[in-house]
Structure 1
Amino acid sequence: MKVLVTGGAGFIGSHIVDQLLEKGHQAVVVDNLSTGEEEYLRPDLPFYRMDIQDEGIDRVIGEEQPDAVIHQAAQSQVTRSIEDPLGDARTNILGTIRLLESCRRHGVAKIIYASSAAIYGNPQYLPIDEQHPLSPLSPYGISKGTPEEYIRAYHSLHGLSFTIFRYANVYGIRQVPHGEGAVISIFIDRLLRDLPLTIHGDGEQTRDYIYVEDVARANVAALARGDGETLNLGTGVNTSLNDLVKTMEKISGRKLEVNYGPNRPGDIKYSYFNIDRVKSVLNWDPITDLETGLTRTLDFYGAL
């Protein structure tokens, strides 16, 4: 199968490309390299340095004729979405619509879309399942959720198959130390520079941390499964920032200095996923526990 990956030189996208190739698929990458790195890609891989807002995306899809599109490209910083909501919407909403139009015109069979836990807002109950009400707290949450509705409409109107993933906090090798859910990357960056970690609040706030290779496996699995599904993608494990720091100390053998500050307005206190649906639909499991994933990541960056 030929698969076009938007954001395929980025953190998550490059791991998806790696696993596509391992499974014998053909991969085509579109990435503007705003956060991605061309060095993550094989030199013989078809690569188009292009923004998803670029009209040229239609030419690429027309020429390459992919069977499926895995859409990872996005503006992923909550703070940037607040400072520049128009720019955020242009990338995440209008860019996705342009991509959907190209898929329609050129007969792409399926799109797999990376949405976010940010669309849920403050949890009304835990763990969060796919039926949880949507109440995003930022333009980023809105701009990740809105394309879901467009994708469902393109399915109804034009027969475009889809799987939507709502990501928990993805971490691992190649992550840049900013963006939504990048707390582990930020902590590792500060550890490498011998700087104290900063935690807003008491550190008891929790998140669901999923290793990037597990996310990539789910995306590849969705090429053959999960049509018409919207699925939470996490581990179902509730981990506090304080526990995260303790695990990093255990792995690195170093005592980490932590500065605690006031809570940030709008921060969510507790959040983790119910993942029963994705496990059942995709026959998939998150096989990398936090200690294993952190060990691999710290070792990659030379922090061990």
Structure 2
Amino acid sequence: MNICVTGGAGFIGSHLTDRLIEEGHRVLVIDNLFTGSREFVNAKADFREMDIRDTALTEVLLEFKPDYVFHEAAQTMVPVSMEKPALDCDINLMGLINVLNACRAAHVKKLIMPSSAAVYGDLDTLPLTEAMQGAPSSFYGLTKLTTESYLRIYKEAFGLDYICFRYSNVYGPRQGHGGEGGVISIFCERLAKGQGVTVYGDGEQTRDFIYVGDVVEANMLALQHTECSGVYNVSTEVGTSLNTLLNELKSIIGTDIDVTYEPTRTGDIKHSRLSIKKSNDNLGFRAKIDLTSGLKTTYHYFADMENFDM
């Protein structure tokens, strides 16, 4: 099939592109390289340097004729969304609308894209299910929640089918370049350089960390289950505190870690853990990579990069 991946030079998008090409699909990567890296783009993929807000996107899709579009391009940083809400809205909502209109014009069968656990806000009841009404505590979470409504209405009004994944905290190799830095990639990169790390809060806040390979698998299942539509959680269903995470990393690197604790940042939530019952029942999804294995792979990726630079 012909498949387009926006943000395909980024963290999740590049891993997804690799898997799609491995499965024999023809892939067009669209990325403005603002946070993505050209070296991450699979050599067998077609590449177009373009912003998703560019109106010429419609012409590109009309020419390529994709059967499916994976829309991975986004502004992903909570602090940036709080400092620059207009920018966050422009990329994540106006950019989305441009992608949706291009998909309509090109008669795309289905759009598959991420939402985020940030849509839930700081709800007390865990694990979080797709049916829960969220109250986002950041503009990033708000734009992702609004994204889901745009997808629903585009399907109801125009027949554009979709699957939208509420990812928990994704981590793995290639993360942390530009605007996609998750806490694990930040910690691993600093530790690989022999530097200390900063924790915002007391370190007892928990996150549902999921390895990027499992996220790619969820996306591939979305291609297989053409009958499925709507919003699905993608997670491990395991909550891990940042202090526990640091202890795991300490065991991996074999040395003590210099940790500085700072006040909690505006927009950050205390606890997050997602239910995958719906994803498991409908898509057959279940995460396979445990945290220790994923952390080892991610840390050694950054350590190898540091050794290469030296």
Task: Please give the range of the TM-score, normalised by the shorter of the 2 chains.
Answer: over 0.9
1:10 aligned residue: 10
- Report the CA distance shift for 1:281/1:151 in structure 2 as closer, same or farther (over 3 A): same
- Equivalent-residue separation in structure 2 for 1:22 and 1:284 (angstroms): 20
Are 2:218 and 2:285, in contact at CA under 8 Å, matched by a contact in 1? yes
1:115 aligned residue: 115
TM-score, with length taken from structure 1: 0.96
- TM-superposed CA distance for 1:263, in Å, is 2.9
Are 2:11 and 2:180, in contact at CA under 8 Å, matched by a contact in 1? no
- TM-superposed CA distance for 1:129, in Å, is 0.8
- Equivalent-residue separation in structure 2 for 1:247 and 1:178 (angstroms): 25
- TM-superposed CA distance for 1:124, in Å, is 3.0
1:294 aligned residue: 295
1:278 aligned residue: 279
Are 1:178 and 1:185, in contact at CA under 8 Å, matched by a contact in 2? no
Residues 26-52 of structure 1: CA deviation (Å, up to 9, x unaligned): 211000111111111233421110010
- Equivalent-residue separation in structure 2 for 1:164 and 1:181 (angstroms): 22
- Equivalent-residue separation in structure 2 for 1:55 and 1:47 (angstroms): 17
Are 1:2 and 1:27, in contact at CA under 8 Å, matched by a contact in 2? yes
1:206 aligned residue: 206
Instruction: Name the aligned partner's letter for residue 275 of structure 2.
Output: N
Are 1:169 and 1:181, in contact at CA under 8 Å, matched by a contact in 2? no
- Equivalent-residue separation in structure 2 for 1:31 and 1:227 (angstroms): 27
Q: Is residue 65 of structure 1 aligned with residue 77 of structure 2?
A: no
1:247 aligned residue: 248
2:259 aligned residue: 258
1:228 aligned residue: 229
Instruction: Name the aligned partner's letter for residue 186 of structure 1.
Output: I
- TM-superposed CA distance for 1:193, in Å, is 2.3
- Report the CA distance shift for 1:9/1:266 in structure 2 as closer, same or farther (over 3 A): closer
Are 2:172 and 2:185, in contact at CA under 8 Å, matched by a contact in 1? yes
Deviates more, 1:171-180 or 1:53-62: 171-180
- Equivalent-residue separation in structure 2 for 1:147 and 1:173 (angstroms): 27
Residues 53-102 of structure 1: CA deviation (Å, up to 9, x unaligned): 00111111000000010110001111211222111111100111111111
Show structure 1 runs of 5+ residues with no match.
none
- Report the CA distance shift for 1:53/1:271 in structure 2 as closer, same or farther (over 3 A): same
SS in 1 for 2:293: helix
- Equivalent-residue separation in structure 2 for 1:132 and 1:35 (angstroms): 32
Instruction: Name the aligned partner's letter for residue 276 of structure 1.
Output: K
- Report the CA distance shift for 1:61/1:112 in structure 2 as closer, same or farther (over 3 A): same
Instruction: Name the aligned partner's letter for residue 263 of structure 2.
Output: P
- Report the CA distance shift for 1:177/1:62 in structure 2 as closer, same or farther (over 3 A): closer
Residues 190-231 of structure 1: CA deviation (Å, up to 9, x unaligned): 112222111122211100000001101111210122622211
1:176 aligned residue: 176
- TM-superposed CA distance for 1:177, in Å, is 5.8
1:191 aligned residue: 191
- Equivalent-residue separation in structure 2 for 1:184 and 1:284 (angstroms): 23
Are 1:196 and 1:257, in contact at CA under 8 Å, matched by a contact in 2? yes
Deviates more, 1:44-53 or 1:266-275: 266-275
Are 1:209 and 1:235, in contact at CA under 8 Å, matched by a contact in 2? yes
Instruction: Name the aligned partner's letter for residue 95 of structure 2.
Output: G
1:237 aligned residue: 238
Aligned residues: 304
Are 1:117 and 1:167, in contact at CA under 8 Å, matched by a contact in 2? yes
Are 2:113 and 2:165, in contact at CA under 8 Å, matched by a contact in 1? yes
- TM-superposed CA distance for 1:180, in Å, is 6.7
Are 1:76 and 1:180, in contact at CA under 8 Å, matched by a contact in 2? yes
SS in 2 for 1:216: helix
Match runs of 1:26-37 below 5 Å: 26-37=26-37
SS in 2 for 1:232: strand
- Equivalent-residue separation in structure 2 for 1:73 and 1:17 (angstroms): 13
Deviates more, 1:107-116 or 1:20-29: 20-29
Are 1:170 and 1:181, in contact at CA under 8 Å, matched by a contact in 2? no
2:154 aligned residue: 154
Deviates more, 1:178-187 or 1:78-87: 178-187
- Report the CA distance shift for 1:266/1:148 in structure 2 as closer, same or farther (over 3 A): closer
Runs of 4+ in 1 over 6 A off after TM superposition: none
Are 1:177 and 1:186, in contact at CA under 8 Å, matched by a contact in 2? no
- TM-superposed CA distance for 1:25, in Å, is 1.6
- Equivalent-residue separation in structure 2 for 1:55 and 1:300 (angstroms): 37
Match runs of 1:116-135 below 5 Å: 116-135=116-135
2:25 aligned residue: 25
